[in-house]
Amino acid sequence: QKEVEQNSGPLSVPEGAIASLNCTYSDRGSQSFFWYRQYSGKSPELIMFIYSNGDKEDGRFTAQLNKASQYVSLLIRDSQPSDSATYLCAVSFPGTASKLTFGTGTRLQVTL
């Protein structure tokens, strides 16, 4: 069974710090990796996606992918209270790009 694992948290970081969110996946055939942010009572919002090994940066967000170790991470620089949410890691496989397998999410709390 293809699994995606995340620490449920909460991960608490002070405002202005770097938040590091991690995700591991079980299937080496995994091809595409996504991070979604979900505020309480809202739907998931796409934050980052990464397909190749290495880092991908977009503003305050950096996604890191290491296929050999089967993990993907999300770094949030200069964390703000508005970043407080649940972050969902999702994975897709070749030929099933629109069938995402989600982790259970990590709850991030950014404290003042």
Chain residues in the site for another protein (CB under 8 A): 31-32, 34, 36, 42-46, 49, 51, 88, 90, 92, 96-105
Q: Which residues contact 27 (CB under 8 A, 6 or more apart)?
A: 2, 3, 91, 93
Residue closer to another protein by CB (options 25, 36) is: 36
Give φ, ψ of 46 to 5 degrees: -65, 125
Residue closer to another protein by CB (options 4, 110) is: 4
Number of Cβ atoms within 10 Å of the Cβ of 48: 21
CB of 19 to another protein, least distance (A): 21
